[in-house]
Amino acid sequence: MPIYEYQCRKCGVRFERVQKFSDEPLKICPECGGTVHRLLQPVGIIFKGSGFYVTDHRGSSSTTSTGKKSGKESGSSEKSDGD
C-alpha cells in the first residue's frame, strides 16, 4: 500500500498516511480540523540491467572504426588547432 503525504491549509502541519489506492483522500486535519490537500511526491525508479552505472564497462561501440576513442581526446585536438 502506498504512503501519501498531506498538508493542512490552516495550520501547515504535514503528515503521512498509509492508504489503499481505492481509499478516499483525507479531507480533515487531525491536529486542527482544517482542510488538507495531498502532496505530490517523486516516484522511486530502479534501473535494472547493465549500462546504468559508471562502474559498468562500455561495449566496443564507444570506439570509432579507426580505434580512437571519442570524447575528450577529439575535443583537445580542436583546442590545439585554434592556438
pTM higher than 0.85 for the full model? no
pLDDT tens digits, one per residue of 43-61 = 778 777 776 676 766 665 5
Q: What per-residue string of b and e applies to 20-36 under the rule 16 or more CB within 10 Å gives b?
A: eeeeeebeebeeeeeeb
Task: Kindly list the domain boundaries of the chain, sorted by start residue.
Answer: 3-39
16 close to 5: Cβ distance less than 8 angstroms: yes
- Residues 19-41 have pLDDT tens digits of 998 999 999 999 999 999 999 88
CA distances from 4 to 20, 33, 56, 65, 69 (A): 10, 18, 35, 52, 48
Would you give the DSSP letter of residue 50?
A: S
Helix (H, G, I), strand (E, B) or coil at 73: helix
